[in-house]
Amino acid sequence: MDLNTLYRTVIMDNYKNPKNKGLVKSDKYHFVHLNNPSCGDDMNVELYIENGIVKEIHHDGKGCSICCSSASVMSDVLTGKTVEEAKAIILDFYGLVMGNLPEDEDRLGEAIAYMGVKDFPARIKCATLSWKAIEKAIEEVEASGK
Ligand code: ZN
């Protein structure tokens, strides 16, 4: 199996069997909604941070396979990380889809599968939508001092 096939498999697996999908809608979670009009992607995320650790991420949305699968991968990769690590991984992911390999590829986990998105500039927003949403959620939680 070549790398491209492997990456496509990761993306399709996460599209068909998304991890952490479905919102709980309780006050415990910080909620953010973002959309991507250019593709019709619509993404909701919920974030719960405790003692500086990303404890839980949920997502729910509609959109293309790149967008929906990426939300699953994002939730899986960032859960359990410290907030500082999560922010660094988010930046690594933005770099990755633009064609810049991060220094530390390992911490991207399955998110490395989105490396090929750089060849499809119109899909970059699809890949990053859920990551932008969780980045905004982290910023808002930090600003609230919770
Ligand atoms: Zn899309």
Residue 124 identity: I
Q: How far is the CA of 97 from the centre of ligand 1 (A)?
A: 14
pLDDT digits (tens, 9 = 90+) for 34-76: 999 999 999 999 999 999 999 999 999 999 999 999 999 999 9
CATH number of 3-144: 3.90.1010.10
Lookup: tokens for 56? 């839980």
Find residue 40's DSSP bridge partners.
none
Q: Which residues surround ligand 1, an ion (CB under 5 A)?
A: 39, 41, 63-64, 67, 126
33 close to 133: Cβ distance less than 8 angstroms: yes
Residues 6+ apart with CB under 8 A from 89: 77, 78, 81, 107, 108, 111
pTM of the model: 0.96
